[in-house]
Structure 1
């Protein structure tokens, strides 16, 4: 009698583990399916970001050429700005795909080139607050904002930046 009870308990235990493993197999297959779907979405999103970054870089190149033709950028500043604009796509890829910071991305980009990070930092230090503050965030968003401000049609003087900031603060308090 005890053997029948033990045999029944063992059979029930085996049935339980078989059913449990089948449930886990179904769960695993649905997780794999969800992972494939997420990978497709991620690949599409990354492709879209790269396409937009490429278009943004092209737009920046056109703006830089216009600034150069009008004599607003020249000399070493033009070379450094040219380097920054030429590496917009690289920085975006490094930040999005490899989760690098702006500084890490630019360090990779300057390897083997006559431009170094010290020159870039000196160039940024000479710029207005509207460029220095976003750049100092060391993020992709800050980099893009700084690039937009660097390539503005009319570079803002420090007095204009403080006037704009003061008028924005006044509008917010009203």
Structure 2
């Protein structure tokens, strides 16, 4: 079965101390684990996919404009990938098994060609990593479930700024979406 590692929204704005909507230490703590997984996936000729939030400042038509401070704005430091993950991506971004794309909703499937990419490459198993466990990772997992993908959540590779939400999402993945938590 072909598989893909999704590294969701692992950007400076969501992870760095100075990020505008940061998880802080909990997001930073998963950097090494995500980087290790990315290396393992690429070594095994599997896919590494970077669904990454993209916004325009003061977009009156985007619902997040009212909910959160400006984040992951186009062509800013905040939208760049964080830490070791960012360095890993810079080294491997031209590999045909690495795919980076913009998303503008919580789920990596909404308004993107992710499902088409996965189906075209016969990928059936998704490892979901990144931030935030209880927002973008959760919404991506729900859509993956509804599209009949097998879901694996590496527990040491997801984080949130809300520990209660993080723990709730992990239980939801397992009990409501049939995901495997490793």
TM-score, normalized by the shorter chain, greater than 0.5:
no
Q: Could you say which structure has the greater relative contact order, defined with CA pairs below 8 angstroms and 6 or more residues apart?
A: 2
More helix by share: 1
Whichever of the two has the greater Rg, that structure is 1
TM-score band, normalised by shorter chain? under 0.3
For normalisation by structure 1, the TM-score amounts to: 0.28
For normalisation by structure 2, the TM-score amounts to: 0.27
